[in-house]
């Protein structure tokens, strides 16, 4: 069977060629960072494809479809894995680069492998940046706005690049589409091609091996199965850590992007904290230094390392300059990140509090139903509001929007101190008979909802709304508003009501 395939395709000998590779000095756990990065990349591609099944890129659906993903177990788990996988991938690329740097493995003839590697780091960062915008929540919006504005300040092509990436003068659907296209098509394609080149160059030159005065004296080890086993084991550990983090600390979804809420303090992804910090330490007149000049120079120096390092051997002692500069750069990056983290946290503590995730998701559920969100529904939105499958609940959403939302708010959260919330209010979901009574006859006097006191006047709707509309709106506030999931009420129930 294998011979039959081999004689027609050559696949078997190709696989053998691929697996046969000498490892100078033997297989080692020191060499797993590159393959673990490839593993993380594949994990990102697989989980990313799955997420595109649910995500709908437009200003009206990006956040809604993300909220849908958040409220469903498997999609949410995949999203959490994708989220931590991104961090893992960037951390692994960085560790891999650091190791090559310390070992001097970039030295001739591997200069181009180094250059391709540094470009791959940039591609990974662009993937992180573009992915950050996609949930279209407050943080995604304002953090991306900072990045876009910085791009716009770059000399010469800056404003044009900002215009293209943003898709016009302001952030909106086109921005989401551009970022989406870059995130799921352009950068992954570029990345896969560059990884191919990176590996091809690697095979051409062979592994650099440990730092030894005479590499020819090293005993060779085998790639298959020795190194493959170590690589596989390391990838397994990386996977276990990512999944554990996905369970312990899933990503947080903020309220939907609201461009008018300029008091919001955005928080960048951790791998951009150092750049944010740099921007904070320089005076505003020198912003360009922090946003463009220093990062560009830094990048050029990193790319040029194989040519800047004039030593003839790879030994650490011969490369003191490189090692010391690496340590200085690392300390600066970590220091700036910590500083940036603390200054953002201080600003956030001073800013008005953001809603909790439960509130955000309750809002997601009601906006998905409310006719105010008459915009094309997210692919998931219809299912997210599964109770909406009951036509009474869907009709109730319309009654609610025109009669109740003015006081109880579109998301059913009420108004603190004045109007009680209906979303998450146990009175609403408990006894349907009592709710019918409130709707028909109104309500006044002191009440307590989830520990908060209210004392206002709820108008009577008998005579204003038909029994049918009252049944519909009760069905909606009981079974479609926010997290409420109680039974519907029929027109007959309302007609039969006796105090």
Binding positions for ligand HEC, rule: CB under 6 A: 403-404, 406-408, 419-420, 422, 425, 427-428, 435, 438-439, 443-445, 447, 449, 454-459, 461, 473, 477
Q: Which is nearer to ligand HEC, 237 or 418 (CB)?
A: 418
Torsion of CA 293, 297, 298, 304, to 10 degrees: 170
Non-local CB neighbours of 155 within 8 Å, separated by 6+ positions: 288, 292
**Shortest spacing between CB 368 and ligand HEC, in angstroms:** 19
Rounded to 5 degrees, what angle do the CA atoms 449, 455, 459 make?
Answer: 100
Show the tokens assigned to 107.
């030295």
**Shortest spacing between CB 486 and ligand HEC, in angstroms:** 12
Length of the chain: 499
Residue whose tokens read 């051997």: 313
Q: Which is nearer to ligand HEC, 6 or 441 (CB)?
A: 441
Q: Which is nearer to ligand HEC, 373 or 458 (CB)?
A: 458
Q: Which is nearer to ligand HEC, 35 or 484 (CB)?
A: 484
With CA atoms as reference, report the closest residue to 84 among 255, 234, 252: 252
Cα of 411 vs its chain's centroid, Å: 25
**Shortest spacing between CB 394 and ligand HEC, in angstroms:** 15
8 A C-beta contact, residue 443 and residue 451? no
Q: How far apart are the first and last CA of the chain?
A: 82
Q: Which is nearer to ligand HEC, 104 or 420 (CB)?
A: 420
Q: Which is nearer to ligand HEC, 89 or 419 (CB)?
A: 419
**Shortest spacing between CB 376 and ligand HEC, in angstroms:** 27
With CA atoms as reference, report the closest residue to 420 among 450, 460, 462, 459: 450
Q: Which is nearer to ligand HEC, 156 or 446 (CB)?
A: 446
Phi-psi region of 293 (alpha: psi -120 to 50; beta: other; left: phi over 0): alpha
**Shortest spacing between CB 67 and ligand HEC, in angstroms:** 24
Torsion of CA 206, 211, 217, 220, to 10 degrees: -40
**Shortest spacing between CB 163 and ligand HEC, in angstroms:** 45
**Shortest spacing between CB 361 and ligand HEC, in angstroms:** 21
Rounded distance, CA 126 to CA 322, Å? 27
Q: Which is nearer to ligand HEC, 108 or 415 (CB)?
A: 415
**Shortest spacing between CB 138 and ligand HEC, in angstroms:** 28
């Amino acid at each position: 069977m294998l011979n039959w395939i081999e004689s027609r395709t050559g696949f078997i000998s190709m696989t053998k060629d691929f697996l046969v590779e000498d490892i100078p000095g033997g297989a080692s756990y020191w060499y797993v960072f590159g393959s673990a990065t490839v593993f993380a990349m594949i994990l990102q591609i697989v989980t990313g494809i799955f997420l595109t099944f649910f995500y709908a890129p437009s200003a009206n659906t990006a956040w809604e479809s993300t909220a849908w993903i958040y409220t469903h177990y498997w999609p949410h788990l995949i999203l959490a894995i994708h989220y931590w996988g991104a961090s893992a991938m960037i951390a692994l690329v960085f560790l891999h680069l650091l190791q090559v740097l310390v070992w001097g493995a970039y030295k001739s003839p591997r200069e181009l492998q180094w250059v391709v590697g540094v470009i791959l780091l940039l591609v990974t960062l662009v993937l992180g940046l573009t992915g950050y915008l996609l949930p279209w929540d407050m943080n995604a919006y304002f953090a991306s706005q900072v990045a876009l504005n910085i791009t716009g300040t770059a000399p010469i092509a800056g404003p044009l690049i900002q215009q293209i990436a943003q898709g016009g003068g302001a952030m909106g659907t086109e921005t989401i589409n551009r970022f989406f296209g870059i995130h799921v098509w352009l950068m992954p394609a570029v990345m896969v091609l560059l990884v191919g080149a990176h590996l091809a160059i690697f095979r051409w030159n062979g592994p650099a091996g440990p730092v030894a005065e005479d590499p020819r004296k090293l005993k060779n080890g085998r790639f298959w199965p020795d190194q493959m086993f170590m690589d596989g084991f390391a990838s397994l550990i990386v996977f276990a850590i990512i999944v554990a983090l996905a369970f312990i600390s899933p990503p947080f979804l903020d309220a939907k992007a609201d461009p008018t809420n300029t008091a919001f303090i955005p928080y960048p992804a951790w791998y951009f904290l150092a750049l944010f910090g740099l921007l904070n330490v320089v005076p505003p007149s020198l912003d360009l230094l922090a946003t463009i000049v220093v990062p560009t120079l830094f990048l050029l120096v990193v790319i040029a390392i194989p040519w800047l390092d004039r030593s003839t051997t790879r030994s650490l002692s011969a490369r003191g300059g490189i090692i010391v500069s690496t340590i200085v750069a690392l300390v600066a990056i970590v220091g700036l990140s910590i500083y940036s983290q603390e200054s953002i946290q201080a600003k956030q503590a001073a800013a008005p509090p953001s809603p909790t995730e439960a509130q955000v998701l309750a809002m997601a559920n009601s906006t998905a139903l409310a006719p105010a969100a008459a915009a094309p529904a997210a692919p998931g939105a219809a299912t997210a509001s599964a109770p909406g499958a009951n036509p009474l609940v869907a009709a109730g959403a319309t009654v609610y929007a025109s009669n109740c939302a003015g006081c109880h708010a579109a998301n059913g959260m009420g108004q603190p101190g004045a109007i009680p919330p209906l979303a998450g209010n146990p009175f609403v979901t408990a006894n349907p008979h009592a709710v019918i009574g409130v709707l028909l006859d109104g309500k006044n006097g002191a009440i307590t909802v989830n520990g908060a006191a209210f004392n206002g006047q709820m108008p009577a709707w008998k005579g204003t709304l038909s029994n049918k509309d009252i049944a519909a709106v009760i069905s909606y506030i009981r079974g479609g508003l926010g997290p409420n999931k109680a039974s519907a009420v029929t027109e007959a129930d309302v007609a039969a009501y006796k105090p």
